[in-house]
Amino acid sequence: MSDGHEVLQTIDVNEHGAQRDGQPQVLDRRLFMQLLVLTCGRDLEPSRAVVTLKRALAGLSLGSVLYEDVNDPFGFGLLTFSEDPADFVTELRPVLGCHEPFEMNMRKKFTMQSRSYSSGY
């Protein structure tokens, strides 16, 4: 018989990893990542665009890595990561939209966003 009180279940949103030294690994933080693949206008040497972009990214709190695009001599990939997904809009977006004199075109089909997952439950 029920006494009329509903039992609330607690939802566990933590990441659970494989045991280490007999203890479960539990983490309540996530790392969010975004990959943007960009190509420069043909009137600019890509290395100059990369140097300018590196300077702009240096002042941000989110981490970043630049990769040269082996399939596009004017292209590069920008991987950014942060524990706060809002950083991609509040910090990264203004940097990508306001740097002259070069123009970057995003290769949208290659854009990805994800978050980290633990391995093993």
What's the confidence (pLDDT) of residue 121?
42
Cα 42 off chain centre by: 27
Please list, in sequence order, all residues whose beta carbon lies within 8 angstroms of the beta carbon of residue 107, skipping any fewer than 6 positions away: 37, 38, 39, 72, 75
Indicate the domain borders of the chain. 32-115
Condensed to tens digits (0 to 9), the pLDDT of residues 41-52 reads 776 676 777 787
pTM for the full predicted model: 0.72
Report, as an integer, the average pLDDT of 35-40: 88
Number of C-beta neighbours around residue 92 at 10 A = 20
Condensed to tens digits (0 to 9), the pLDDT of residues 98-117 reads 655 457 788 889 989 888 77
Q: What is the CATH number of domain 32-115?
A: 3.30.70.100
At 112, the amino acid letter reads M
